[in-house]
Amino acid sequence: MIAKTLVPWSHSNAYVLAANALPSDIVQQAAILSDRDKTSLVMAIENESYEMAATFAWSKAMAALKKQLAHLGMEFVGEMLGRLDLDEASNAITDIREDEAIELAEQLAMISTTEAIRLRNGQTLVNHFLDSDIARSEQMHKEEAISIVRSCVVNFLSDANGNVGQDFVALRKKLESKTLKTDDLEVGTLASSPYFYIRTTLTVLLAQLKVAIGAKLEHTAGNINVLLPIIWSKLRDKDRWQTGETYAIVQASGRTVAAAGLSRALLSVNGFDFVPETLRSESFRAAARAVIGAHVAYDNFHNEPKPMETLARLGSSIPGPALADCFSAAICVRLGNRYGISHAAQPATERFLKLFRPTQWEYYLNKVLSSDRYVLEKLAYDDKPLTRWLELVTEFKLSDLTVNQKVARMVTSNVSKRGIIKKTASSYREQIMKS
């Protein structure tokens, strides 16, 4: 049974530390670190080398996390992340971004949503102080460094065994080695599974349709026919477009078995509305993902302008399948983060945002915003991006658009309603992880 037996992840050694635990007590729980590393880490904090301590703990934690994810198989990790460039030859340490690793760890239930927020804040601080100019003029606070070290230890450095979510590997193998039947118990339970399971199942099937041959392809084509009608009503538009794009790809590449199987599945759910006439949308989506990658990485203010300019030059008409990614990328650059914005990237961002028609803005606000983690986190937790959101609403007259009642709470330029915007964004963010 997929829904009952598919367990994302479990920690056998989840430490709970007292809120006032001393640095030495926290570091002592880092089973992955050597005694020498533990001593050096405590000494760095005691000597007020807070940036050094935080950066060291962070690098060790991210390496540990990525190694655990690699045990799932890098190709499978790529499927879950939507990274077609990842395969078994990829290096987990260098090829998986830190924000991707944290997001996947949260979805796999390796860490809680609260810990994920703490880790993202830690990532922002560590990257901020990697800037040599900032490091010379400012210093990380002791409590900030201890908070980062605590998060790293509790979540990734305390368990030397690094338990692996093998159920996900088993899921993939089952989908390519057995054709399920509509009356199989796991088929009925999949529809009530958390959204991450549903999306992962779809991603695995679509990826296999592109590359599998022989019996694997036949099982995959059979399973897409059985499962797509069960999960279609649960899918978000972004995943429906991905399904339609996959059909266009396998059709154009002459993969007749894959195309025929997916065609039957799409016909059964009236899904051909999501098949693009061209694959132009993939160019937009790839460019948008590059913008997001630059935005969440170190030295983002310097690195955002080039991919943002590339995205803005792709064309004057943005294809439907790419709308969600393009909106998210452009709005992230426009809102910036708690430290400011990339001024050099703003002209291209402004040109790009003006390409969106009112009906496309309404689509984003009504269909995408509630699941856009990047934007929701900015509105829920950071004051400066929230201020720029109010300015964005005014500039593009978003409050004049037709939006649902809950979204309307966030589409306002009224400064006095900042608290309502934060609360609503936070509520949507929590729903993402619970769905």
What digits encode the pLDDT tens for the residues 346-387? 999 999 999 999 999 999 999 999 999 999 999 999 999 999
Q: Are residues 299 and 255 in the same domain?
A: no
Are 285 and 398 found together in one domain?
Answer: yes
pLDDT at 113 over 80: yes
Q: Which of 102, 125, 157 is the last residue of a domain?
A: 157
Same domain? For 69 and 147 the reply is yes
pLDDT at 13: 41
Among residues 255, 274, 293, which one ends one of the domains?
Answer: 274
358 lies in the same domain as 244: no
Q: What is the mean pLDDT of residues 201-212?
A: 88
Lowest mean pLDDT of 10-14, 82-86, 396-400, name the range.
10-14
CB neighbours (10 Å) of residue 46?
A: 11
For residues 88 and 73, the answer to whether their CB atoms sit within 8 Å is yes
d(CA 131, CA 297): 12
Q: Show the CA angle centred on residue 229, arms to residues 225 and 231, nearest 5°.
A: 115
Rounded distance, CA 291 to CA 300, Å?
10
**Verdict on whether the full-model pTM lies above 0.85:** no
Using CA atoms, how far apart are residues 148 and 54, in angstroms rounded to an integer?
Answer: 6
154 — phi, psi (to 5°)?
A: -60, -40
Residue 127: predicted pLDDT: 92
Cα–Cα distance for residue pair 237/360, rounded to 1 Å: 13
Q: Does residue 347 share a domain with residue 270? A: no
Q: For residues 75 and 398, what is the distance between their CA atoms, to the nearest angstrom?
A: 41
**Residue pointed to by tokens 């089952």:** 174
The residue whose two tokens read 């593009």 is 396
Packed helices 418-434 and 383-395: angle between N→C axes, nearest 10 degrees: 100
Among 81-95, 340-354, 385-399, the least confident range: 81-95
Confidence of residue 74 (pLDDT cuts 50, 70, 90): confident
Radius of gyration of the chain (CA): 23
Q: How far apart are CA 222 and CA 317, in angstroms?
A: 36
Does pLDDT of 132 surpass 90? no
CA–CA separation, 30 vs 41, rounded Å? 11
Phi, psi angles (nearest 5°) of residue 5: -105, -15
CA–CA dist 108, 120 (Å, integer): 16
Identity of the highest mean pLDDT range in 65-74, 168-177, 380-389: 380-389
Across 47-55, average pLDDT: 94
Q: Are residues 306 and 249 in the same domain?
A: no
Are 269 and 285 in the same domain?
no
Residue in the block written with tokens 């100019």 = 133
Q: Do 18 and 52 sit in the same domain of this protein? A: yes
Does residue 321 contact residue 245 with C-beta atoms inside 8 Å? yes
Q: Are both 302 and 240 inside the same structural domain?
A: no
Q: Sign of dihedral through CA atoms 135, 137, 143, 144?
A: negative
Which of 114-123, 228-237, 425-434 comes out lowest in average pLDDT?
A: 425-434
At 167 the pLDDT is 57
Which stretch of DSSP H or E encloses residue 422? helix 418-434
Sorting pLDDT into bands at 50, 70 and 90, what band is 54? very high
Instruction: Kindly state the average pLDDT of the residues 293-320.
Output: 92
Please give the C-alpha separations between residue 309 and each of 241, 293, 313, 328, in angstroms, as whole numbers: 25, 14, 6, 15
> Quick one: 424 and 300 in the same domain?
yes
Question: What is the C-alpha to C-alpha distance for residues 250 and 162, in angstroms, rounded to an integer?
Answer: 38
How many Å apart are CA 263 and CA 281, to the nearest integer?
20
- Of 126, 157, 188, the one marking the end of a domain is 157
> What single-letter amino acid sits at 301?
F
Please give the share of the chain, as a percent, with pLDDT higher than 70: 93
Using pLDDT thresholds of 50, 70 and 90, give the confidence band for residue 3. very low
Looking at the structure, do residues 356 and 427 belong to the same domain, yes or no?
yes
pLDDT mean over 28-51? 94
CA distance 146 to 103: 22
Chain mean pLDDT for the chain: 88
Residues 239 and 370 in one domain: no
Give the residue carrying structure tokens 């999949």.
190
Confidence of residue 388 (pLDDT cuts 50, 70, 90): very high
166 confidence band (pLDDT: 50, 70, 90): low
Of the listed ranges 57-71, 174-188, 220-234, 389-403, the least confidently predicted one is 174-188
Closest CA to 348 of 304, 293, 378: 304
pLDDT at 383: 93
User: Number of folded domains in the chain?
Assistant: 3
Question: What one-character DSSP code corresponds to residue 82?
Answer: T
Query: What is the structure's pLDDT at 162?
Result: 53
- State the pLDDT confidence band at 8, using cuts at 50, 70 and 90: very low
> Which residues span the domain enclosing 250?
166-274
In this structure, what DSSP letter does residue 153 have?
I
Most confident of 186-195, 210-219, 273-282: 210-219
